[in-house]
Amino acid sequence: MDDRQLKTIRVMLVASDPDMAEAIRMHVGQAFLLSLVDTATSITEAREKTAAFLPDVILLAEPTSAHPLESDIFTFCRELAFDYPGIGIVLLLQHIDEAALEAALDSGARGVVAITQSSEGWYVLGEELESRVRQAYDMVSQQRGDRWVWNRLFDRRRSVAFISGSGGVGKSLLAALLAIRTATYAAEALQHVHITPEIALIDADLTPGVQHLLFDIEPSHTLTDIAKLHRGLDRASARLFLQEIRFPLAREQEGRLHLLASPPAMNDDLAPTPSQIANVMSVMRNTFDLLVIDTHTALTQASWPVLQSSSHIWIVCTPDIISIFQTRRLLDALLQRDEGYLRSKLGVIINRVEKKQEVTFEDAHFLFEKEGVPVLAGIWNSPQQVEFHLNQGALYPLTHVPPKKKRRWRKKRRKKDATPMQPLPLNQAIDQLTQHFLGDLLIGEQPDGGQARAHTDENASRPGRRGKPSA
């Protein structure tokens, strides 16, 4: 017997009607070598559980009028098929005709099964259901490894929101540089599986934002335009509002980044509501693999939905009394809303550090660590370098980190500084923040079962014999 036929197929069920779900669960439980991992009753729950369990096959049941879903079943099937090509999708439809079969084929479904309702309840032919599940599994078994690897490396799609307590601290520039460096890192880390992760930079600063100026582009659409779509917003329409930015990489490669700009001038009557912004963030999370978001200065009603939906919240400040005071006020306002939930997301970046300032980097670092908020990086002030590349219209060189040269080990080692962290140049700080953001993608598990190679080689720091680094 073929090895694929002996493997237990992990099945997840999506059904809004509880009676229908119970009938399907009964047939799946009686089938040979089929294991039901979980059941979802809504599209939002289905997205979360699909990312968490990564089943082999999804049974997507047509909703009833008494228990509707948030969107059309074929639209949701198309989104799942795009995001997870390694998962086979089987539709359970109440009425199967030529139009329904054509819609199922266009949506990327791998099989269709009829489910009917009688006076005794819902009925589905168990042998046909089992056959369609195995057929769907065999059809997508050759595709496991493309975006499938990406979804296994990540436990969820990630997003980081930049915010500050006061203006003029370099928040928008750091967000743009992190987006560029993230696109570079993710593309290099996933070269072995030929994946190009989709990364979006969203300018949610309505005061207005400056991301389109940093990249020297004229936006054709803005965040206000996409927020007006309300319920008509989906993955396909969301892509039309973002502009693609390309920048050079090593070995004649090219990085890609999508930008959603903020409006150049904002009228209070046209400003998007918090619910509209939350809807935009939800669609963006489901459309792109990684999000970098530039939000308002200080906490506002428009920035709160962005912070709630982000997996990381990074606060940018400078080592001066006013900026630190405003940052502490921002921290208090955030923690008052939901301390247990938000505290794990927070991090502080101390930007524009100089040797002689009214507040030293060591004092600012100690202050935030005492508050229980980690300091992610300190960045030396380099206005001439930043101004030069901004005038050239090229931000990528600011993120480039040249490879380190191997040096002979000396017998006398320098004494370690008492300070746990030292400020870094801009490019090295962005590199460090990117590694913190991507995390297990860079040092996680490879698809072949081995461990991925970290960017910092541990063996290079071990001195070998005669004072030379070991091979």
Which of 113, 144, 175 finishes a domain? 144
Domain membership flag for residue 410: no
> Which tokens belong to 16?
């809004």
> Which tokens belong to 258?
């999508």
What total of structural domains would you count in the chain? 2
pLDDT digits (tens, 9 = 90+) for 35-85: 899 999 999 899 888 888 888 899 999 999 888 888 889 989 988 887 777
pLDDT digits (tens, 9 = 90+) for 83-142: 777 789 999 999 998 889 888 888 889 999 999 998 888 999 888 999 999 988 888 775
- Do 111 and 182 lie in one domain? The reply is no
- Do 222 and 125 lie in one domain? The reply is no
- Do 138 and 108 lie in one domain? The reply is yes
- Do 91 and 222 lie in one domain? The reply is no
CATH number, residue 84: 3.40.50.2300
- Do 110 and 226 lie in one domain? The reply is no
Which of 409, 346, 419 is closest to 378 using CA atoms? 419
Q: In whole angstroms, how far apart are CA 255 and each of 146, 183, 308, 429?
A: 19, 6, 29, 20
- Do 324 and 178 lie in one domain? The reply is yes
Domain membership flag for residue 196: yes
Overall pTM surpassing 0.75 (yes/no): no
Calculate mean pLDDT across residues 373-390: 88
d(CA 234, CA 82) in angstroms, rounded, equals: 13
- Do 197 and 333 lie in one domain? The reply is yes
- Looking at mean pLDDT, say which of 298-312, 334-348, 417-431 comes out highest: 298-312
CATH number, residue 261: 3.40.50.300
Q: Do 229 and 218 touch, CB atoms closer than 8 A? A: no
pLDDT at res. 17: 93
pLDDT reading at 268 higher than 50: yes
Domain membership flag for residue 207: yes
Domain membership flag for residue 464: no
Calculate mean pLDDT across residues 423-427: 92
Domain membership flag for residue 452: no
pLDDT digits (tens, 9 = 90+) for 320-333: 999 999 999 999 98
Q: Which residues contact 147 (CB under 8 A, 6 or more apart)?
A: 83, 84, 85, 86, 195
Percent above pLDDT 90 for the chain? 31
- Do 120 and 195 lie in one domain? The reply is no
- Do 218 and 323 lie in one domain? The reply is yes
3-state secondary structure of 193: helix
73-83 helix and 43-53 helix, angle to the nearest 10 degrees: 20
Domain membership flag for residue 408: no
- Do 301 and 385 lie in one domain? The reply is yes
pLDDT reading at 449 higher than 80: no
pLDDT at res. 452: 37
- Do 108 and 223 lie in one domain? The reply is no
Strand partners, 463: 469
pLDDT reading at 417 higher than 50: no
Give the domain extent around 388. Answer: 156-400+419-443
pLDDT reading at 175 higher than 80: yes
The per-type count for the chain, helices as H runs and strands as E runs, is 19, 14
Strand partners, 39: 13
- Looking at mean pLDDT, say which of 133-142, 160-169, 447-456 comes out highest: 160-169
**How many residues does this entry show for the chain?**
471
315 band by pLDDT with thresholds 50, 70 and 90: very high
pLDDT digits (tens, 9 = 90+) for 143-153: 554 444 455 44
Domain membership flag for residue 166: yes
- Do 161 and 289 lie in one domain? The reply is yes
pLDDT reading at 156 higher than 60: no
> What mean pLDDT value characterizes the chain?
80
DSSP state of 464: -
Domain membership flag for residue 206: yes
